[in-house]
Each structure stands twice: as structure tokens, then as C-alpha cells.
Structure 1
């Protein structure tokens, strides 16, 4: 039993380090080769490090990122817990070393069109961060600040908290760089990185949650299970106006299966009442599995 646990721990550590190394390399390319040369600060601590480096140029970007993150890491240990904080330190150190010691000395810098620099910078940054996020880690900065903000204002969503911090950094970049274009390109880069992160993390598990109210739900459910091989849940419901009791069908499907699901419903009951909800991620049997340790 202990040997099995040890192998599982070693495998998890190897995957964590692999994701950190590859993700940090891609992330560093986005920062060093595309955004920093164009004076684009794409939000977060990395964007703040670009601004600081532009003003004083005393330390490289990776070192500046680590220094800015020190007080945030301390707050993370106090308020967010040790496990998450140690993971963040690991990823932060690797990404900072990758920026200063691997990408900066050896990789070429793109000096062409600013729009292309913003787009490709955002794509590389998003792809690198997504690989790190997939293993349950972060590079600190924005994620720590947003989590701390949500401790004080729990009604604020994670996305809004991160957006608030990133927009503040982009606004500062416009003041420091002395033009609005830097901020506008920063917004483009931030948008691209966000889209890439969502595509990598959720892209293969996005789908639709469908709620069907019909007098023929039993037949619809049998067709769904037979033809799409998806589970169906039937809930007991009651119409508030009519007082009539009926079953409510709920089913989650991938986007590629949604058209067939609609076709089945239309063939059986064209008067069925159907509500479709976008599902950013679907976990469980038939989709992304949930491991015993709580990871995905």
C-alpha cells in the first residue's frame, strides 16, 4: 500500500514539474519575445514587472516578479493555506528562472507589428498558464490578490476579481508608457490569454445542460440513452399555474451531441418546452473524471 502511495506521489510530482517547466517556458516566450519588447503590460504581476523594468531596469523581469510576489506569498500562507502557497512558490520560481535564464538569453525577440505582438503574446501567455493551472498551481500575483479580495468581499466572482486587478495594471501601463495604445494592446493580449486558458482547461469538457418539460419524457429519455449514450435524470415537477404534475427531464451532453439531442426531442414532441444552458465544464461519468484525491 505504501509503495502504491509512493508511486502515485512520485508520478504526481513528475507531472507537476513537467507542467511547470513546459508551461513556464511557453509563458516566458509570451512575455519576453512578444509583450515586453512592445511595451505591452498584459495585466497581472508579470505586467507590473514589465512596467517596473521599464522605469528602472535594475533587475530582470523574472526577478522583479518574484520580489513583487513575496508579500503576496506571505499573505497567502496566512489566509489561503500552506499547500496552495507551496505550489505557487514552486511554479513562481520555475517561471521566473525560465524568463531570466532561458528565454531572455537564448530566444529571439519579435519586433514587428504591435497587434501581432499583442495577440501572440496573449496566446503564449494563456497557453503556458493553462498548463500550470491544469495541475492545480498558479504563478502567484493576480490569483492570490483575487482570492484575498474574495475573503473580504465573497460576493465578487473570481473572474471579476482577476479582471479588476488586471485592468488596474493596464491602466497604470498607459500612464507609465505615455500612450493609450499600450493599454489597448494590453487589453487585446489579456483577452487572447483568457480565451486560450478557457479553451485549454474547459475546451474538451464544455457542453450543454438541457431541461425538457414534455408529456413524453419517458420516450425521450429512452431515445437519448440508446442513441447518444448519455444519462438522463427525471425530476418530479408541478406547474404553478395549471397545478398539473409532470416529470422534468435533465440531461448533460457535449456540444457535438447537442444537435442530435434536439433532433430527438423534436421528433418525439415538437411542442416540448426546452431550456438550454451553456456548461463551462462537466465532471463525472462520461465526461472528465473526478479522482479520489479530488483532482480532475
Structure 2
């Protein structure tokens, strides 16, 4: 009979609680950022975002009812779909985020806008909104049902998730022209683009990681130079040339975006004819990615 380890169990419970707390804080901050971006910058200047948020802003403007009501009600059907198609954790996280966003917009609605200059409202509103949405997505939730629809469409059509989201948002942002005027529709398009970029930066982080693949006969010298000059660990892989059939050693390494130029310089110094491939990585975990000190 195996006996359970009480200490290991307690440690697992603590880690689970810490993880849950981090996720909750991220969702709370994300919903707060989105609320500020909407009610303090975009909505008072008749600038909308894409997706269900954009539809909610338009319907709220036409009906005169509070924005928070539509943010919550219009997302409910997609929450149910998300629960069925993606999972319980996603649905609960999304429900929590949408509820907080709806409450946040209601509380901030009486607060006067920080600026009535459309361009300033577009830029800062898009930045704050994008950061908020990114934080919620990193926590495993969502603030917009459009992505859920896009995932379902992708399963039954040749269109990708990105293409479906883009088509839906073009229609929504175009509708803003008939409601708020074409100047505001164009500002809305700029705000959507800025928010889209900020979402990526928030999810992936400002220090973007890159994978590096190097094929060279001087692999040992290059590998040692990377370790000593760049402070990064390397992995040597066995490869075979597709045309020649010769055995090759491949160097694999993960660096940050700021180290890319130095990496290329190291390879150039040891073997100008070496094959070098650099690609973007969205997430790095485990291993020995942490940079060691260089003396």
C-alpha cells in the first residue's frame, strides 16, 4: 500500500491557490483596464472597438440604455457555447471577466472623459483596452464572444479564426460609420488596430523570445562562443543533409529579441557560410532559459 505524502499534498494545494489567485488578479486588472479604456476614452468620443463590445456600444447609443447591460447580455450566449466547446474553466473565467467589465463600465459611466480630442482618445483608449484584454486572455478567459464564433466557423469552413474575426469586425466597424459618422468609424479602426497590437504584446511579453538553429562544421566553436559571450545554453542535435546525406551537427538555442544581432555576429565571426535560422517563440518554460552571468 502506498501512503500519501501530506507535505506534498499541502504544497500542491498552496500552488493551486497561488495559481488561482494570480489568475483572479489578472482578470480583475484586465477588466478594470478595459472599463477605463471604454468609458474614459472611447465611448464618450463615439469611438468603438470590434466584436461584441463594438455591437454593445452601438446598441447602447441607439437605445440610451447603459453599456454594461449589453456587454453582459450579448456575451451570455457565447459563454454557453464556450462552456460546451472549450471547457468549464474558460467559461467561468470569461463569465467573471465579463461581469467585472459590465460593472466597471457602469461605475465609470458618470466620470467625465479624460480627453475630448478624438486622436488622443483613440490612441490611449486602444492601448489601455488592449492591455486589459491581453491580461484576461493570459488568465485563460475572454471578453468577447466573437473569437468563440470564429473557432466554431473554423471547424466547419476553410476560413481561419483570424480571417473570421477580421470579417466580423470589418462589418461592425463599418456599421459605426452609419451611426456615429465616418470620421468616428475611421478612428474606431485605428483604435481596434492599436488594441490588437497591445493584446499581442501583453500576451507574448515585451521581451520576445526567439529560437535559433545553426548548421556549421564549426559547431563546437560557435556553441562555446554562445555560452561564453552571450551567456545562453545550447543544445547539439544530430542531423543529416537531405541532398548530400552527410551527418551534420545542429545547434539549437533560445535568445531574446535584443540578443539577435550579437548572435548573428558570433556566427559570422566563426563561420560566415554557416546556415542560420531565427524564428519567433510566443512562450518559453522550463529548461535553463534563464540567462547566466557572464564574467
TM range (shorter): 0.7 to 0.9
Residue among 88, 94, 98 paired with 2:100? 94
Match of residue 221 from structure 1: 223
Q: Secondary structure at the match of 1:138?
A: coil
Question: What is the SS of the residue equivalent to 2:192?
Answer: helix
**Are the structure 2 counterparts of residues 18 and 175 from structure 1 closer, same or farther at C-alpha, using a change threshold of 3 Å?**
same
Please list the CA deviations of residues 12-49 of structure 1 after superposition, one character each: whole Å capped at 9, or x if unmatched: 33323322222211111111111112221110211111
| Superposition deviation, residue 60 in structure 1 | 0.9
Aligned partner of residue 53 in structure 1, secondary structure? helix
C-alpha displacement of 1:246 = 2.1
**1:157: Cα distance to partner?**
4.2
- Aligned ranges for residues 1-296 of structure 1 at < 5 Å? 1=6, 2-57=9-64, 59-100=65-106, 102-105=107-110, 107-153=111-157, 156-177=159-180, 179-287=181-289
SS at match of 2:129: helix
Shift of 1:52: 0.3
Q: TM-score scaled by structure 2? A: 0.86
Contact 2:60 2:67 in 1 (8 A): yes
In 1, Cα distance between the equivalents of 2:36 and 2:288?
A: 36
Report how far residue 284 of structure 1 moved: 3.2
Gaps of 5+ in 1: 289-296
Unmatched tracts of structure 2, length 5 or more: 1-5, 291-295
Shift of 1:156: 4.5
Kindly indicate whether the alpha-carbon contact (under 8 Å) linking 1:37 and 1:111 is maintained by their aligned counterparts in 2.
no
Residues of 1 paired with 2:191 and 2:41: CA distance?
10
- Report the equivalent of 2:293: none
* C-alpha separation in 2, matches of 1:118 and 1:66: 24
Moved more, 220-229 or 21-30: 220-229
- Give me the CA root mean square deviation: 2.2
SS at match of 2:236: strand
Distance across 1 between alignment mates of 2:34 and 2:269: 49
Asked if the contact 2:215/2:276 (under 8 Å) is kept, the reply is yes
The verdict on how the C-alpha distance between 1:286 and 1:133 changes in structure 2, with shifts beyond 3 A counting, is farther
Q: Does the 8 Å contact 1:27/1:125 carry over to 2?
A: yes
Cα shift readout 1:51-98 (whole Å, capped 9, x = no counterpart): 0011111x2111111111121112222222222111111111111111
- Partners of 1:104 and 1:131 in 2: how far apart? 22
